[in-house]
Structure 1
Amino acid sequence: MSKTQDIKETVQLIKDLVSIPSPSGNTNKVIQFVKDKLVQLGVQTIKNRKGGLIATIPGEDNTKHRVLTAHVDTLGAMVKEIKSNGRLKLDLIGGFAYHSMEGEYCEVETSNGTVITGTILMHQTSVHVYKDAGSAERNQANMEVRIDAKVKDEKQVRALGIEVGDFVSFDLRVQVTEKGFIKSRHLDDKASVAMILQLIKRIKQENISLPYTTHFLISNNEEIGYGGNSNITQETVEYLAVDMGAIGDGQQTDEYTVSICAKDSSGPYHYGLRKHLVQLCTAHQINYKIDIYPYYGSDASAAIKAGHDIVHGLIGPGIDASHAYERTHEDALIETEKLLYHYVQSQLVDYES
């Protein structure tokens, strides 16, 4: 299969994954989608009690293990309050700003499975009515969901089955351009989940013998801080989170390379593993950037905070406008896939040196 076909498959997987609503706390459908893909590849999986999925490929050495993780949960919201005017007040799931979802279409999923569409708006949206439509703060008090139903009060909303605690998902607006850009919500981190699936597929198709037993954790609580802090075997030595590289002022990361994280809000990642990843990039002509993400945490840092004695790292494709309407390029996916492919076949870091 050509590289062009490979990347088209990855992009299609991304489109399929982002099309399944999965805010943290409501991820069963997307986990089942991933499980079905892995079953088709003949890969053993188990589901942990938190709802995450673990796939394992035995290696030549079963006394030392690796873990690679990517998360399938996304940002979202819950119904906080049903207002007297029939609108809904929201409570956010995950770390993002209210202004990033203003004007966004959304879906409210009731506890009985009914889906009702709506739009997230400022209460003071109409410039013909509200003098402060432009200047009012975008916050929980001022933003609300206008549902697409004939409702005028709280009682009529509840009659539809909507209740406090119902999950709210955002319209993803996925687009793939002729120039190779992928635009969508939730590329963080469904782009990485797609690449993990492609990596496993390649391992199976090429009958690659991995040097160490390798676990692939598809976590489902990363956006709320604890997706990857459990189900790590005692034999695990290295733990690599595959997430996104954050782009902005002062950052080296771009949309065309794989980003290798040196440090985030949790502190430095393992220096030896970082150098090993750079060496792999150099040896295999992989375009990369090293960067620091100042307001960021990963499943790898969650595992460290949980007390696991592991070597931890973080890589991922550069993604613009993180936690908003995100964008990356096929080039970043290609470079990240190359690094993953060579990493899982490499030797462990000598953490004692």
Structure 2
Amino acid sequence: MTLPKEPAVLPDARINLTYTTDVLLRLLNTPSPTGFTEDAVRLIEEELSALGVSGERTRKGALRWTLPSREGAAQVTFSAHVDTLGAMVKDIKPSGRLTLTQLGGYDWATVEGEYARVHLQGGRTIGGTVVNIKQSTHVFGAELRELKRDDKTLELRLDEVTRSAEETRALGVQVGDFVSWEARAVLTESGYLKSRHIDNKAAVAIFLAVTKAVLERQVSLAHTVHFFISNYEEVGHGASTGIPAQTSELIAVDMAAIGPGQNSDEHCVTLCVKDSSGPYDHALGNRLRQAARRAKLDLRTDIYPYYGSDASAAWRAGGDYPAALIGPGVDASHAYERTHLDALSATGCLILTYVAG
């Protein structure tokens, strides 16, 4: 496959796209719904170890690591989240099928027909498919088209022989078991990546690629750089604690939503200047704009009225530092998402240019 052309910037501002996509595909295929992120965090730790970097877990289960600069340098923290949308078992129906409760905010219609895994307490998983209670058009006709999709009309049909709640319980299924959606990650010949959970595993892979670039090229850093991987962002409190105490700037890196009336693009990096929590820091945003100009990047600016980030959570928790939000453009957010390698490359380029000063 031919990778898209890199931005016309200095070599030290490029990330390795082959490495980035390799890590990202493995992350996407590692289930990590909010509250069930251990395997994904361990994968990140293994990558860090291979790079010769030691990560540190917070008591809440988040992960952070540091790339030091000269003594007295300002300390900037980049945050991303590895937790994703998902569900938990709310009830076992008399039919043996499962009622689900959401993890994170999404429209139920976006998971109808999706393959899922139920993660049992003993470590096994059971496959299934999200279907609605009137799924067959040959049985229900117009009733199917008029059915509202919600937690009362969608259920998980298990890929096991069960016709009763007792038989499902005998399989080991319990109320409270985590349910993950199959990512169905595909990297196309044209450089598009389509998958669930690009939000926000793309940023995590970019952080690892930036770390690799800094270490291998011995990039001189203008800032001491902390990377913070939260594990509860999808439910609103990921970065409310655990941000390094010495942080002088916080830059959240998350997906940039695309749609009518939005300025973001699948091939670009975006600076979000305002979301549902209000405006982000103007001066920090301008410093990121300056870095984008130095790197000759097409930096989009955008506003997301139905969006919140780890920077929002950190500020609400009393974080005393300027905060900003950047990220690659992602289509169909919180559904079956898509971005382009151009956007991953541009986001990594912006981070490298910023930290190199």
TM-score (norm 1): 0.95
Q: Which residue of structure 2 aligns with residue 340 of structure 1? A: 351
Structure 1 residue 8: deviation in Å?
2.1
**Residues 33 and 87, structure 2, Cα contact 8 Å, conserved in 1:** yes
Distance 1:182 1:70 in 2: 19
Q: Which residue of structure 1 aligns with residue 4 of structure 2? A: none
Which stretch shifts more, 125-134 or 285-294? 125-134
Amino acid of the residue matched to residue 112 of structure 2?
A: E
Distance 2:210 2:15 in 1: 14
Amino acid of the residue matched to residue 39 of structure 1?
A: S
Distance 1:223 1:23 in 2: 9
Q: Does 1:38 align with 2:48?
A: yes
Distance 1:310 1:134 in 2: 50
- From the superposition, tell whether residues 44 and 297 of structure 1 become closer, same or farther in structure 2 (CA, over 3 Å): same
Distance 2:131 2:122 in 1: 25
- Give CA deviations for 1:307-346 in whole Å, capped at 9, x if unaligned: 0111100100000000000000011111111101111122
- Give CA deviations for 1:200-250 in whole Å, capped at 9, x if unaligned: 011110112322322101111111111112122332110001101000110
CA-based RMSD of the aligned residues comes to 1.5
Distance 1:241 1:5 in 2: 18
Query: Unmatched 5+ residue regions in structure 1?
Result: 347-353
Q: Which residue of structure 1 aligns with residue 235 of structure 2? A: 224
Q: Which residue of structure 2 aligns with residue 14 of structure 1? A: 24
SS for the counterpart of 2:290 is: helix
SS for the counterpart of 1:120 is: strand
Structure 1 residue 3: deviation in Å?
10
Q: Does 1:78 align with 2:126?
A: no
Distance 2:125 2:320 in 1: 43
Residue 106 of structure 1: which of 113, 116, 127 is its match?
A: 116
**Residues 75 and 95, structure 1, Cα contact 8 Å, conserved in 2:** yes
Q: Which residue of structure 2 aligns with residue 329 of structure 1? A: 340
Query: Unmatched 5+ residue regions in structure 2?
Result: 1-10
Q: Which residue of structure 2 aligns with residue 90 of structure 1? A: 100
Percent identity (aligned): 44
1:144-223 equivalence runs, <5 A? 144-223=155-234
Which stretch shifts more, 55-64 or 160-169? 55-64
**Residues 82 and 204, structure 2, Cα contact 8 Å, conserved in 1:** yes
Q: Does 1:120 align with 2:123?
A: no
SS for the counterpart of 2:353 is: helix
Q: Which residue of structure 2 aligns with residue 55 of structure 1? A: 65
SS for the counterpart of 1:133 is: helix
Q: Which residue of structure 1 aligns with residue 257 of structure 2? A: 246
Residue 78 of structure 2: which of 63, 68, 79 is its match?
A: 68
- Give CA deviations for 1:73-116 in whole Å, capped at 9, x if unaligned: 10000000000011100000001010000000110011111100
- Give CA deviations for 1:5-25 in whole Å, capped at 9, x if unaligned: 921221121111000000000
Distance 1:64 1:44 in 2: 21
Q: Which residue of structure 1 aligns with residue 268 of structure 2? A: 257
Amino acid of the residue matched to residue 28 of structure 2?
A: V
**Residues 60 and 209, structure 1, Cα contact 8 Å, conserved in 2:** no
**Residues 276 and 306, structure 2, Cα contact 8 Å, conserved in 1:** yes
Q: Which residue of structure 1 aligns with residue 248 of structure 2? A: 237
- Give CA deviations for 1:113-164 in whole Å, capped at 9, x if unaligned: 1100000011110112224111110001000000011100000000000000
SS for the counterpart of 1:197 is: helix
Distance 2:78 2:244 in 1: 12
Distance 2:12 2:38 in 1: 33
Structure 1 residue 2: deviation in Å?
11
- From the superposition, tell whether residues 228 and 4 of structure 1 become closer, same or farther in structure 2 (CA, over 3 Å): closer
Distance 1:44 1:184 in 2: 29
- Give CA deviations for 1:137-194 in whole Å, capped at 9, x if unaligned: 0001000000011100000000000000001011111111111100000000011100
TM-score (norm 2): 0.94
- From the superposition, tell whether residues 147 and 3 of structure 1 become closer, same or farther in structure 2 (CA, over 3 Å): farther
Distance 1:63 1:182 in 2: 37
**Residues 59 and 210, structure 1, Cα contact 8 Å, conserved in 2:** yes
Q: Does 1:269 align with 2:269?
A: no
Which stretch shifts more, 268-277 or 55-64? 55-64
1:245-324 equivalence runs, <5 A? 245-324=256-335
